[in-house]
Structure 1
Amino acid sequence: MSGQVVGYVRVSATDQNPQRQLEVLGECHKIFTDKISGKSRAKRHALAELIGYIRDGDTVRIASMDRLGRDTRDLYNIVAEITDKGAAVEFVNEKITVDKNGASPLDSLMLGILAAFAEFERRRLRERQAEGIAIAKAKGKYVQQPALSDDDVEQVKTLMDLGYPKTEIARRFQVSRQTIYNALRRKV
């Protein structure tokens, strides 16, 4: 192997622990970590840094393909972007490697099938969630998360400036962390 082994880790939230993925990756010369949902590639700064960092001959090692791409098209686009730079992509759990020459026919087939199944499962999960919410609403048991007032948002900002963790702030206001994030985004 002529280049470096560069790891990429992504967890969906800042309070999630990437340790399991780091153990799967094994020894790497450098590791890039994103702590954000994979929905928006624009906010995945570590992925952008990784793509800027890699060179011809490097190997990008990822624990699992769902950590790299959110859907089949996204996965293929990112893999193509990495391999166009001359680096290989290694998905450890799936035992699939794609390099600038492409993947073996079997690896290509498995990549397509596994990516399609992962996307299918994400869509089914959202569908089941929507069905569950509809049933709960029909029974009058679904309660919408309370919104934060402008005063509440100012208090949240003050607490954040003082260094309080978002989880603790959310608990104080009896809302989810996501409600805190949404309220702060609206006020920006």
Structure 2
Amino acid sequence: MSGHKGQVVGYVRVSAADQNEARQFEALGTVDKMFSEKVSGKNTEDRAKLQEMLTYVRDGDKVRVKSPDRLARSTTDLLALVEQLKAKGVALEFVDNPALNTDTPQGEFMLTVLAAIAQLERKTIRERQAEGIAIAKRDGKYEKAPKLTPEQVQQASERIAQDVPKAKIARDLGVSRQTLYAALNGSGKYAK
């Protein structure tokens, strides 16, 4: 530990739906520094005070929030913030959910479990997407949009007229020769 006496830093987030920040301030009790945010949008970038707080905290500090949902928008978001704070040597305390406090063995364990669940969730979502695509392909519903625009097809024809090799044109356009031929012959997706 450095000579820096750890500060308790409060973070409060009030959404448009719940304007009562007094409740959150009260829950946090006495803190050395308070960051308070009024947020409406869904993106993390509009949480300017959160970014400010993350920049402000130093090794040995403790961030106190009422509950995980005040700090994070999702499990993944929460875990990323926990990691970010941990890397700076900053503990995280949840007034309403002490079981998640990062400076206790239970909290560490709970967050490990959450991380496993979040990972499973992502994997399941990816798998479902892949399955959805496979089924759509099988049923002929998954047609990627034509890779070449009419302008590109036009340019390709002009270059062929100038005796540029088709393989080179396909390479320049970043498509396979089959795609180029289909586009030039107006077959497959390029059928008029």
Name the TM-score, length of structure 1 as normaliser.
0.54
Corresponding residue of 1:28? 31
Corresponding residue of 2:91? 88
Q: Does 1:74 find its partner at 2:73? A: no
Q: 2:102 aligns with which of 87, 98, 103?
A: 98
- The Cα RMSD (Å) is 2.7
Q: For each residue in 1:112-148, what CA deviation from the matched residue of structure 2 results, as whole angstroms up to 9, or x when unmatched?
A: 667979xx9xxxxxxxxxxxxxxxxxxxxxxxxxxxx
Q: CA deviation at 1:36?
A: 0.5
Give the AA of the match of 1:108. E
Q: How does 1:146-157 map to 2 (within 5 A)?
A: none
Corresponding residue of 1:144? none
Q: Provide the C-alpha distance between the structure 1 equivalents of 2:78 and 2:47, rounded to a whole number of angstroms.
A: 14
**Bigger-Rg structure (1/2):** 2
Give the AA of the match of 2:102. V
Corresponding residue of 2:60? 57
Q: CA deviation at 1:2?
A: 2.9
In the superposition, relative to structure 1, how do residues 27 and 36 fare at CA in structure 2: closer, same or farther (>3 Å)?
same
User: Gaps (5+ residues) in structure 1?
Assistant: 121-188
Q: Provide the C-alpha distance between the structure 1 equivalents of 2:63 and 2:83, rounded to a whole number of angstroms.
A: 12
Q: CA deviation at 1:38?
A: 6.9
In the superposition, relative to structure 1, how do residues 114 and 94 fare at CA in structure 2: closer, same or farther (>3 Å)?
farther
Q: Provide the C-alpha distance between the structure 1 equivalents of 2:47 and 2:94, rounded to a whole number of angstroms.
A: 19
Q: Provide the C-alpha distance between the structure 1 equivalents of 2:110 and 2:11, rounded to a whole number of angstroms.
A: 21
Q: 2:16 aligns with which of 13, 17, 23?
A: 13
- Whether the aligned pair in 1 keeps the contact of 2:79 and 2:111 (CA below 8 Å) is no
Q: CA deviation at 1:67?
A: 0.6
Q: Which consecutive aligned stretches of 4+ in structure 1 deviate over 2 angstroms post-superposition?
A: 108-117
Q: How many positions carry a matched residue from both structures? A: 114
Tell me, what secondary structure is at the counterpart of 1:28? coil
User: Gaps (5+ residues) in structure 2?
Assistant: 122-192
In the superposition, relative to structure 1, how do residues 24 and 15 fare at CA in structure 2: closer, same or farther (>3 Å)?
closer
In the superposition, relative to structure 1, how do residues 15 and 62 fare at CA in structure 2: closer, same or farther (>3 Å)?
closer
Corresponding residue of 1:108? 108
Tell me, what secondary structure is at the counterpart of 2:101? strand
Q: How does 1:158-173 map to 2 (within 5 A)?
A: none
Tell me, what secondary structure is at the counterpart of 2:11? strand
Q: Provide the C-alpha distance between the structure 1 equivalents of 2:97 and 2:18, rounded to a whole number of angstroms.
A: 26
Tell me, what secondary structure is at the counterpart of 1:98? coil
